[in-house]
DNA sequence: CAAGCAGGTCACGAGGTCAT
DNA sequence: ATGACCTCGTGACCTGCTTG
């Protein structure tokens, strides 16, 4: 009734229609670290486009992005960009795509050690080896949450013995199966529907106390306000706990009093059913907090992977500065040694006869390759964090990394994908409310547009492989570039 | 509750992984009507892929399609096909895409005659003229349902879906105008006429409890006894709630029992309410039956457009037969007159000097062009049936038809698109139940894959335009082929 | 009868309490 | 500061009565 309808704000999103962005500063040859940067930069862009912290990377400081600066992404996609970028845009988009393409089935297999057993017969390709590589270079604080939802494996009521917060119901054991979905905040057993959300008694009390505070003076004990609020460690960080409360929708305005509606009760029961069903095959059952956890997890991993070792790159301005610097170095060199401007052939014959890498281009390419390989390793590691990804056939994992479509187990991939779509929808609906549908279409359009890059990618890499024999020393790169 | 979860049936959908389909019988030059056929055929395929009557075209009779024959589409997309097909696959996919790209906002403008007024200044391109052409060649039985949803402007039961507190009405779905003005006290949905006032069950109970009190000992939580009693905030201040009850006239003396005849008055109030309701449209509200109507409508139009004048093409076997026939004719001719096999240049110079169209290829091409234009006209007509499409800027309409992305009003397009996505979801969930999520991903994947065709399309048509000067006589085709 | 409401019932949750 | 437990106002639903 008194619902506030968001007014149509003209954001004007679409492919190719706006001016150039600022990061296309030209760069000698392939631009050295530039490649790695582009990836991160692209993520930034994508995120800015999304208009929310889709990947938890802080929205950039540079361009005063108020509301209408969010078509940078499309520009990147469509406009003439620096020649070497597409490959990494491609990969980047694949990352983005992955997020729409993978996730799930994890929490109930608390043991879950017997997941990878098959597809060990054929000799692995280098990419597959990379994927199969268990000692991930991923250096999280070592506390990666293997279990999404701890809890008891299945139904919440078997261990009613544990604490059973509602002793009131003891007196009248009128069945009533106090079954409820778990606490949306911490994952513990929920005691009811508090402040508009199914939460446990503890989180309810916590939120109530928070409401009473005049000022929220919690401080995050971590660093990024992204502490994981899990069943065991609910009290680790009050700030993040409060944030999560808000995030899941707790509010004084959402209070519901009085007896349950039939509708709601059946909804709860259905959810419980689904949760229990996860053991067999839930088919399409993800509780919201599961999705939430996935989002948090991927978000966190993504940040660590992208900015973990290069935190200063979180700011696009730094990237631009670096590019500028490299470019000036190049100009300097050019002035000092003259513009050699050797063609590939000239350089090759010269190198062949004298053994001299005259303008260091080979060395530079070596560096680029290394940087690239590192990037790919990161990509692979990220992909592996996507629940369900590692359970795919190795070939499929490789195919997805390479953005190919000839999958062995498309059903499984689609299941993963669907879970991620749901995550996206959740995020979008939280951020955009009634406009989330439109935003969803935007995302899909972006994905579809991204497909154009595949063609481009193939074309460019084909030449790349021919022009740079040095690539032969990097089987991983070669495979990524091979269709 | 008693929900049946569909068991995992291995359908194995994905791009490029299965053998050739049966419709690639070769064909002389461009195959004459073959082109038109391909379009229909493709639709068939697409539909078969969907596994339900997505477009109401009867599922083909030929191939005994039980369950695993539904990747024909992907084959069509990915495998080597007859050279001339891609163009039409392209268009065909555009049609499919259109269905995911357009629709809406129609029902409230019952008059809606003043919709097209602007963008009349620039000279229209041929495509735009085609689009703007009002006397559509579309020859439905003349009873095309202009109004999607007739009904009263707003839905009969304002927001029953939202929470419907009184499921008492549920058990007996006797309709009987569950429509009531909202609670006079709090604004929630009223459950009836209580204590002389239309109130909700909650306020009724509250007042009853107040009456039972010996002494009204409420205390205003605010300061001036002027707290706002709104739908969400009903319980914020009992004192002010009580005051409001009194203010709106609730009283033990005003009790009315038994059935009332003066429903006329409430009806009037309802009318007023509705009038108010029309002012705010809920942004993302499509009732299921609205979507249903859209689906039905598009489905119907699509069938009429595709099979209307060529009903015998509903059966793919016929298509194959025709192709076979044409091919044999061609072989026959070849045998009789020898295999001329003139190159373009040879034919052109011969034609230039003698004026003879030696192997009728020009004539044939003329026919093809005509057929093509007819096809495009159909496509345009179909697009125009998509609610909301005709209200887009003409340029955007043209862009969409041509599968371009540089839109003027992307927001509007996305709104249309979103409505169609919802339609798709509805259909999928009906057909596939719990597996609809996966199916949705399949569709999105198909759309994304379809993008690859754009590149192909551009490449091919570029040559086509060069090779066939006769195309210059067909501006519509030319424009469709121009990027 | 059937429609429709006053009043009753009791499942629920907000807020308070207090041992930890 | 936390969270298990308590109290009491709430409100969805029901029962029984009244009326057309
Ligand atoms: Zn909790
Ligand atoms: Zn009320």
pLDDT (mean) for A111-140: 44
For residue A166, give the nucleotide whose C1' atom is nearest its CA: D5
pLDDT at residue A443, rounded to an integer: 78
Q: Taking 60 as the threshold, does the pLDDT of residue A360 lie above it?
A: yes
Q: Of the candidates B170, B417, B442, which has its C-beta nearest A414's C-beta?
A: B442
Q: Give the pLDDT band (50/70/90) at residue B5.
A: very low
* A343: its two tokens: 């063609």
pLDDT band at A334 (very low <50, low <70, confident <90, very high): confident
pLDDT tens digit sequence for B419-434: 888 888 888 887 777 7
Residue whose CA lies closest to nucleotide D7 C1': A168
Q: pLDDT digits over A36-77, tens only?
A: 333 333 333 333 333 332 222 222 223 333 333 333 333 322
| Token digits of residue A270 | 């259905």
Q: Looking at residue B264, what is its pLDDT?
A: 53
Cα–Cα distances (Å) from A253 to A196, A257, B57, B238, in that order, read: 8, 11, 50, 16
Q: Is the CB of A170 under 7 A from strand D?
A: no
**Residue B313 distance to chain A (closest CA, Å):** 32
| Nucleotide with smallest C1' distance to residue A165 CA | D4
- What's the rounded mean pLDDT across residues B233-252? 91
Q: Highest-confidence range of A67-76, A267-276, A407-416, B185-194, by mean pLDDT?
A: B185-194
The closest alpha carbon to B178, from B195, B203, B197, B161, belongs to B161
Tell me the average pLDDT across A8-23.
30
Higher pLDDT, B279 or A130: A130
Select from A264, A418, A421, A460 the residue whose CB has the most chain B CBs within 10 Å, as the one to mutate to test that interface: A418
The CB-side HSE value for B418 (13 A sphere, CA atoms) comes to 22
Structure confidence at residue A271 (pLDDT):
65
ipTM above 0.90, yes or no: no
For residue A277, report the distance from its CA to the centre of ligand 1, in Å.
22
- Which stretch of A234-238, A313-317, A386-390 has the lowest confidence by average pLDDT? A313-317
Report the largest interatomic distance among the alpha carbons of chain A, rounded to a whole angstrom.
95
* DSSP letter for each residue of A129-179: HHHH--S-S----S-----SS-S-SS-SSTTTTS--S-THHHH--------
**Residue B271: its pLDDT value, please?**
54
Ligand 1 center–CA B230 separation, angstroms: 29
Question: A388 is written with which tokens?
Answer: 């369900």
Which strand (E) or helix (H) includes residue B194? strand B192-194
Roughly how many angstroms between the first and final C-alpha of chain A, as a whole number?
A: 55
Q: If pLDDT is split at 50, 70 and 90, which confidence band does A230 have?
A: confident
Write A230-236 long-range contacts (CB < 8 A, 24+): A230/A145, A230/A150, A230/A186, A230/A187, A231/A149, A231/A150, A231/A151, A231/A186, A231/A187, A231/A188, A232/A150, A234/A185, A234/A186, A234/A188, A234/A202, A234/A203
Nearest ligand (C-alpha, residue B190): 2
Least confident of A33-42, A125-134, A181-190: A33-42
Work out if A206's Cβ lies within 7 angstroms of strand D: yes
The residue of chain A with its CA nearest to that of B277 is A1
Kindly report which listed range (A391-405, B124-138, B291-305) carries the lowest average pLDDT score: B124-138
Q: Token digits for A197?
A: 């959300």
Q: pLDDT tier at B178 (50, 70, 90 boundaries)? A: low
Mean pLDDT of chain A: 62
Residue B323 in tokens: 């192709």
Cα separation, A167 vs A120, whole angstroms: 53
3-state secondary structure of A197: strand
**A391 pLDDT more than 90:** no
Return the minimum-mean-pLDDT range out of A389-398, A443-452, B208-217: A443-452
Q: Using 50, 70 and 90 to split pLDDT, how confident is the model at B320?
A: confident
Average pLDDT over residues B265-283: 53
Among A406, A448, A460, which would you mutate to test the B interface (most chain B Cβ atoms within 10 Å of its Cβ)?
Answer: A448
Query: CA A452 to CA B392: how far, in whole Å?
Result: 25
Our measurement of CA A259 to C1' C8, in angstroms, reads 15
Q: What is the pLDDT of residue B248?
A: 92
Least confident among A179-183, B43-47, B291-295, B357-361: B43-47
State residue B124's pLDDT score.
61
Q: How far apart are CA B235 and CA A362, in angstroms?
A: 74
Note the pLDDT tens digit of each residue in B185-234: 998 888 888 998 889 999 999 999 999 988 888 888 888 788 888 887 88
- A410·B13 Cβ contact <8 A: yes
CA distance B387 to chain A (A): 16
Q: With 50 as the cut, is the pLDDT of residue A27 above it?
A: no
Per-residue confidence at A160, pLDDT binned at 50, 70, 90?
Answer: very low
What backbone phi and psi angles, to 5 degrees, belong to B194?
-115, 130
Mean pLDDT across A160-165: 33
pLDDT tens readout for residues B251-261: 998 888 777 66
Q: What is the pLDDT of residue B16?
A: 30
Chain B neighbors of A262, CB-CB under 8 A: 167, 170
Q: What pTM was estimated for this model as a whole? A: 0.41
Put simply, the answer to whether A405 touches B445 (Cβ < 8 Å) is yes
Nucleic acid strand C within 7 Å of A252 CB? yes
What is the dihedral angle through the alpha carbons of A441, A444, A448, A449, rounded to the nearest 10 degrees?
A: 70
**Range of weakest confidence among A273-282, A434-443, B161-170, B328-337:** B161-170
Least distant ligand from the CA of A235: 1
Provide, in whole angstroms, the distance separating residue B365's CA from nucleotide C18's C1': 92
A209 closest-nt by C1' vs CA? D1
| Most confident of the ranges A80-84, A297-301, B19-23, B152-156 | A297-301
Number of C-beta neighbours around residue B244 at 10 A: 19
b/e map of B446-473 (b: 16 or more CB within 10 Å)? Answer: bbbbbbbbbeebeebbeebeeebeebee
| Facing A1 at nearest CB: one of B16, B187, B452 | B187
Q: Specify the nucleotide whose C1' lies closest to residue B210 (CA).
A: D9
Structure tokens at B173: 């779905």
Average pLDDT over residues A99-126: 36
**pLDDT score, position B223:** 80
Does the pLDDT value for residue A110 go beyond 60? no
Who's near A461: CB < 8 A, 6+ residues apart?
A87, A481
Residue A88's alpha-carbon distances to A36, A209, A331, B62, B403, in angstroms, are: 8, 48, 25, 46, 26
Spatial separation of the C-alpha atoms in residues B338 and B355, rounded to whole Å? 21
* Averaged pLDDT for residues A332-361: 76
Name which residue leads in pLDDT, A378 or A277: A378
The pLDDT assigned to B310 comes to 66
Local confidence band at A207 (pLDDT 50, 70, 90 cut-offs) = very high
Residue A483: pLDDT band (50, 70, 90) is low
CB A199 within 8 A of CB A29: no
Q: Which of B60-69, B81-90, B293-302 has the lowest mean pLDDT?
A: B81-90
Is the distance between the Cβ of A174 and the closest atom of strand D smaller than 7 Å?
A: no
Task: For residue A97, name the pLDDT band (cuts at 50, 70, 90).
Answer: very low
- Looking at residue B267, its pLDDT comes to 59
State the pLDDT at residue B207. 95
pLDDT of B449 higher than 70 = yes
Ligand with smallest separation from the Cα of A183: 1
Write down the pLDDT at residue B205: 95
Which is nearest to B421 in space by CA: A436, A5, A432? A436
pLDDT band at B239 (very low <50, low <70, confident <90, very high): very high
């Amino acid at each position: 009734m008194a619902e506030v309808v968001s007014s149509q704000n003209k954001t004007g999103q679409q492919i190719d229609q706006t001016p150039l962005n600022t990061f296309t500063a030209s760069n000698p040859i392939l631009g050295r670290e530039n490649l790695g940067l582009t990836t991160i930069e692209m993520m930034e862009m994508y995120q800015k486009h999304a208009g929310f912290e889709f990947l938890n990377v802080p929205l950039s400081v540079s361009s005063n992005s108020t509301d209408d600066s969010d078509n940078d992404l499309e520009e990147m996609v469509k406009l003439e960009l620096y020649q070497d970028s597409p490959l990494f845009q491609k990969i980047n988009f694949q990352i983005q795509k992955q997020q729409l393409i993978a996730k799930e089935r994890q929490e109930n297999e608390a043991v879950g050690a017997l997941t990878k057993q098959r597809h060990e017969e054929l000799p692995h390709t280098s990419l597959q080896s990379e994927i199969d590589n268990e000692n991930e270079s991923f250096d999280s604080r070592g506390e990666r949450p293997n279990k999404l939802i701890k809890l008891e494996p299945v139904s919440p009521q078997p261990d009613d013995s544990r604490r059973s917060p509602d002793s009131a119901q003891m007196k009248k054991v009128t069945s009533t199966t106090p079954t409820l979905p778990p606490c949306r905040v911490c994952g513990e057993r929920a005691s009811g529907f508090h402040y508009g959300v199914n939460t446990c008694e503890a989180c309810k009390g916590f939120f109530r106390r928070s409401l009473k505070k005049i000022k929220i003076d919690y401080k995050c004990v971590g660093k990024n306000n992204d502490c994981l609020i899990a069943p065991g460690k609910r009290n680790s960080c009050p700030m993040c706990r409060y944030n999560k409360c808000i995030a899941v929708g707790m509010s004084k305005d959402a209070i519901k009093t009085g007896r349950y509606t039939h509708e709601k009760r059946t909804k709860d029961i259905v959810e419980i059913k689904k949760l229990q069903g996860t053991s067999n095959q839930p088919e399409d059952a993800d509780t919201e907090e599961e999705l939430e956890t996935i989002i948090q997890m991927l978000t966190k991993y993504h940040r660590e992977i992208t900015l973990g070792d290069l935190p200063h790159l979180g700011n696009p301005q730094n990237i631009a500065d670096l590019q500028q610097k490299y470019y000036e170095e190049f100009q300097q060199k050019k002035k000092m040694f003259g513009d050699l401007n050797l063609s590939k052939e000239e350089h090759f014959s010269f190198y062949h006869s004298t053994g001299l890498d005259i303008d260091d281009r080979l060395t530079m390419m070596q560096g680029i390759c290394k940087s690239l390989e590192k990037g790919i390793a990161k990509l692979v590691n990220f992909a592996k964090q996507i629940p369900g990804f590692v359970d795919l056939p190795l070939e499929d994992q490789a195919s997805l990394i390479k953005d190919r479509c000839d999958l062995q187990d498309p059903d499984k991939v689609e299941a993963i994908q669907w879970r991620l779509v749901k995550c996206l929808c959740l995020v979008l609906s939280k951020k955009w409310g009634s406009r989330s549908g439109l935003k969803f279409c935007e995302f899909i359009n972006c994905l579809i547009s991204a497909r154009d890059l595949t063609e481009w990618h193939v074309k460019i890499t084909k030449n790349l492989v021919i022009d740079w024999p040095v690539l032969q020393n990097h089987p991983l790169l070669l495979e990524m570039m091979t269709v």
